[in-house]
A and B are shown apart, each in its own frame.
Chain A
Amino acid sequence: MKNLNDITKNNAFKVPENYFDTFAAELEARISEENLKKQFGNRNFFSVPENYFKNFTVQMNPKKGKIIQLIKPWLSAAAGIIIIFALWQFLLTDIINTNKQAQNHDSLQTNNSTVIANNTLSIDDIDIKYLDPEINAYIDEADANTIYEYTDDSEQETVTNTDDETIYEYYIDYADDNDITELLADL
């Protein structure tokens, strides 16, 4: 193609059949529509119940929605019951523990008073229920020296010779004034 003259000027476009014959009627309809819009605007005169669109999805899924709707009140009630039960459990445990501690304290006081009154302390004076089962087993099997070893970590010493001289040396090394006074009174 060299220039514009090579191209025909004929109208290359066409319109649908009867387009111009029906145009006036279509335009009239469009004008009526425009007049209505002008008169009433595009305002929506209708309203929907509150939260309608929010709940719409749930309503559209009846299976899921139904189950949720059914258990919804029970879920709240169950949550309330669980909270009350947990609180009650916590308070009850606390009360029981306090009582137990008080009882244990009384028991210890009684035992200690007995020991102090009799001035005797033997393995039988220790209430077995206050001891760890392992310690308990250990006590059953161990001799006096081993127990001494077990109960006094800071100043471990195995007593092998229990004659008076040894006891005397021990007192000199470890005993306080009261112990020495008591020992002298015994002598």
Chain B
Amino acid sequence: MNSAVRVNTIDKHLTNKELSEAFNLIVEEYKERLYWHIRKIVLIHEDADDVLQNTFIKVWRYLEKFKQDSKIYTWLFRIATNEAITFINNKKKKSEDSFENYEETLSNSLESDEYFEGDKAQLILQKAILTLPEKQRIVFNMKYFNETKYEEMSEILDTSVGALKASYHHAVKKIENFVKQY
């Protein structure tokens, strides 16, 4: 079953309230795309795995209430983004409690992460992204790496296209200023 057929089948199952079948296909179809979306936000594989599982548990719990007014893709990415932000905020709070800087800790752990195989320039880029505010970081990742359309991003992040464009523009400027130092 290819991706297009699978998406149509998911819609059919949802319409017929065949939630279990719909859910299994949703996991099959979106697990990788959601994983990479989450991984770009949290950076560490173990954290991304946790967030991805939390995301699908939420999907399982609320699938019954999902209204097919919006695309399932948009709904899933919105849940995943919110879960990743919640995860990061919890981590930040724990870091503050132990007088650590979460971004700094994350930046250091990336250098020794066995699941990061980027070169020196890519490591600098990730460190530059970590200096951005949370929302700008998400916008930059979605646009720069995934080339997500602003309209789709607008639905997922519940932000206007204009605001997203401005946010991305600022993010690029900041990152270029950062990488110029190296």
Q: Do A and B bind?
A: yes
Q: Which residues of A contact B (CB under 8 A)?
A: 1-4, 6-16, 19-20, 23-24, 26-27, 30-31, 34
**In the complex, how many residues of chain B place their beta carbon closer than 8 angstroms to a beta carbon of chain A?**
36
0/1 per residue, B50-86, Cβ < 8 Å to A?
Answer: 0011001100100000000000000000000000000
CB proximity to A under 8 Å, residues B141-182: 144-145, 172, 175-176, 179-180, 182
Does B32 belong to the interface (CB within 8 Å)? yes
**Chain A nearest CB, measured from B124 CB (Å):** 7
Does B87 belong to the interface (CB within 8 Å)? no
Interface segment among B11-19, B90-98, B112-120, B131-139: the answer is: B112-120
The complex places the Cα of A26 from the Cα of B176 at a distance, in Å, of 40
B45 touches A15 (CB 8 A): yes
Report the 5 A-B pairs with minimum CB-CB distance, sorted nearest first.
A12-B118, A12-B122, A7-B121, A1-B179, A7-B125
Q: For B124, what are the chain A residues with a Cβ–Cβ distance below 8 Å? A: 1, 7
0/1 per residue, B16-44, Cβ < 8 Å to A?
Answer: 00000000100110011001100110010
At the interface, is chain B mostly helix, strand, loop or mixed?
A: helix
B53 touches A26 (CB 8 A): yes
A4 touches B32 (CB 8 A): no
Q: Which residues of B contact A (CB under 8 A)?
A: 24, 27-28, 31-32, 35-36, 39-40, 43, 45, 49, 52-53, 56-57, 60, 115-119, 121-126, 144-145, 172, 175-176, 179-180, 182
The complex places the Cα of A46 from the Cα of B31 at a distance, in Å, of 39
B122 touches A8 (CB 8 A): yes
Residue of B nearest to A9 (CB): B145
